[in-house]
DNA sequence: GTCCATGCAAACTGTTTGCACGCGC
DNA sequence: GCGCGTGCAAACAGTTTGCATGGAC
C-alpha cells in the first residue's frame, strides 16, 4: 500500500493526523524492508537516518499506522510483535523454528474456512491470521530431518 | 490428553521430571476449565486450592507442560499468552474483538493448505496456528452491525 | 541423601504514559 | 498560534531468574 507523498499527507489529514518527518521515515524503513521488523529493529534502522528519533515514537507511530491500515502487526515468534507494511494481497506466514526465517504464502482455501465459520457460528470475520511453523528446507538438511513430524 | 495419575507420573519420570502436588493441581485446573486461561487466571484459580502456590511456579510449570506437549500456548488477545490443555483434535480459534469470547472450531481445509505449502516451499510443518477475529453474534446485535466488514 | 521443584523477591523485556517543548498546518 | 506529535524518563505488565529451603523418589 505504498503511496505518493501527497496522497500520504491526505491520508493522515483525513483522520486529523499530521505527516511528520518521523512518520515518513518510519514508513519508508518499513516499506524498504521486505522482511518483518520488530519495533527495536525498526528503531535502530530509523535511528541510523535520524539519530534523534525515540523508541516511544516508534511504538506510537506503529500504533497509528496500524489503526490506519498501513501496517500489520504479527506475533511471529510468540515473544514480541513484528510489523510489516501492507502490500495489498492478504498473505500468511510460515516461521522456521530452526533459523527464524519467515516465508509468506497465499492460501485460497482460507476463504472457504472463513465462510464456513462465519456461517456456522453466526460471527462476522474481520481478520484472519494463519501461522504455520516447522523447519525450512535448509534446516531439515542440517538436522538430518529427524525433527520433521512426530513420527 | 487427560491421563491417569500413574500414567502421568510415568510421563514426568520419562523425562527426568517429578510429579509434584503443584503440577498436578495446575494440570487439574487447566483440564477442568473449558476455556483458555492466561497465567494470572490459572494462578488465581490454583491459589484458591493451594494458597501457597506462587506465580513463578505457574510459569515454570506451564513451560514444562508445554515442552511435554500436555498444554498449548496461544497468543489470542495479542497482549499476553493463553494456555489450554491438549484434548487431542487440533482446533483453531475465533476471537471476538468486542467481548473477547473465544470460539473453537475445526477446519478440514487446513490439511490441504499445509500440504500445499509444505510441497511448494519444501518445508516441513510441525504446527499450524489459525486465529480469526471479528465480532460474535451478540456483539453484532449490540453494535447494530456497523462494524462488520469494511464495506 | 540426592537433586529437582518451589517460594520469594528482584531483575528483565517489551511496551506505554506524563510532561514540557517543538513543529505541522 | 493552536494543538498534535515528539523526546525523555519513569511507569507498567508479563515473564524470567538467583538463591536458599523443601519435597519427590
Q: What is the pLDDT of residues A39-52, one digit of tens each?
A: 999 999 999 999 99
pLDDT at A143 > cutoff 80: no
What DSSP letter does each residue of A66-106 carry, written as one string? HHTTSEEEE-SSSSS-EEEE--SS--EEEEETTT--EEEE-
Distance from residue B150 (CA) to nucleotide C13 (C1'), in Å? 35
Interatomic CA distance for residues A107 and A130, integer angstroms: 9
**Backbone phi, then psi, for B2, in 5-degree steps?**
-75, 135
C-alpha cell at B19: 510429579
pTM of the model: 0.85
Chain B: residue whose CA lies nearest to A108: B113
Contact check, Cβ <8 Å, A78/B78: no
**B149's torsion region: left (phi>0), alpha (psi -120 to 50) or beta?**
left
Q: Which residues of A in 69-128 have their CB below 7 Å from strand C's atoms?
A: 79-81
pLDDT at B88: 75
Q: What is the mean pLDDT of chain B?
A: 88
pLDDT at A145 > cutoff 80: no
pLDDT at A78: 67
What is the pLDDT averaged over residues A108-128? 94
Which one is predicted more confidently, A38 or B1?
A38
pLDDT at A18 > cutoff 90: yes
Least confident of A11-20, B93-102, B103-112: B93-102
Contact check, Cβ <8 Å, A112/B109: yes
- Laid out side by side, the sheet with A124-135 consists of A102-105, A92-96, A124-135, B124-135, B92-96, B102-105
Name the strand (E) or helix (H) holding A42.
helix A39-49
Q: Within chain B, where are the H helices?
A: 5-13, 21-32, 39-49, 55-67, 109-121, 137-142
Share of chain A above pLDDT 90, in %: 63
Chain A: residue whose CA lies nearest to B105: A117
pLDDT at A82 > cutoff 50: yes
Q: Is the dihedral of CA A135, A111, A79, A71 positive or negative?
A: positive
pLDDT at A111 > cutoff 90: yes
Contact check, Cβ <8 Å, A135/B126: yes
Cβ count within 10 A of residue A83: 21
What is the pLDDT averaged over residues B99-108? 90
Distance between first and last Cα of chain B: 43
pLDDT at A64 > cutoff 90: yes
Instruction: List, for residues B53-74, the tens digit of each pLDDT value.
Output: 999 999 999 999 999 999 999 8
How far is the CA of B72 from the CAs of A150, B31, B102, B127, in angstroms? Answer: 16, 12, 15, 11
Is B41 part of the contact surface with chain A (CB cutoff 8 Å)? no
**B113, B125, B148 ranked by CB distance to A109: nearest:** B113
pLDDT at B1 > cutoff 80: no
For cell 510441525, name the residue: B126
Instruction: List, for residues A89-108, the tens digit of each pLDDT value.
Output: 778 999 998 888 899 999 99
Amino acid at each position: 500500500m505504498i503511496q505518493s507523498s501527497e496522497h500520504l499527507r491526505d491520508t493522515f489529514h483525513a483522520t486529523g493526523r499530521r505527516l511528520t518527518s518521523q512518520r515518513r521515515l518510519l514508513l519508508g524503513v518499513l516499506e524498504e524492508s521486505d522482511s518483518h521488523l520488530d519495533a527495536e529493529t525498526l528503531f535502530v534502522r530509523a535511528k541510523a537516518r535520524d539519530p534523534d528519533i525515540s523508541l516511544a515514537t516508534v511504538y506510537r507511530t506503529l500504533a497509528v499506522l496500524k489503526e490506519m491500515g498501513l501496517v500489520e502487526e504479527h506475533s511471529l515468534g510468540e515473544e514480541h510483535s513484528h510489523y510489516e507494511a501492507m502490500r495489498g494481497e492478504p498473505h500468511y506466514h510460515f516461521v522456521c523454528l530452526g533459523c527464524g526465517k519467515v516465508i509468506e504464502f497465499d492460501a485460497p482455501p482460507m476463504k472457504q474456512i472463513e465462510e464456513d465459520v462465519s456461517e456456522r457460528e453466526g460471527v462476522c470475520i474481520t481478520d484472519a491470521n494463519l501461522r504455520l511453523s516447522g523447519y525450512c528446507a535448509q534446516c531439515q538438511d542440517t538436522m538430518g530431518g529427524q525433527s520433521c513430524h512426530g513420527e
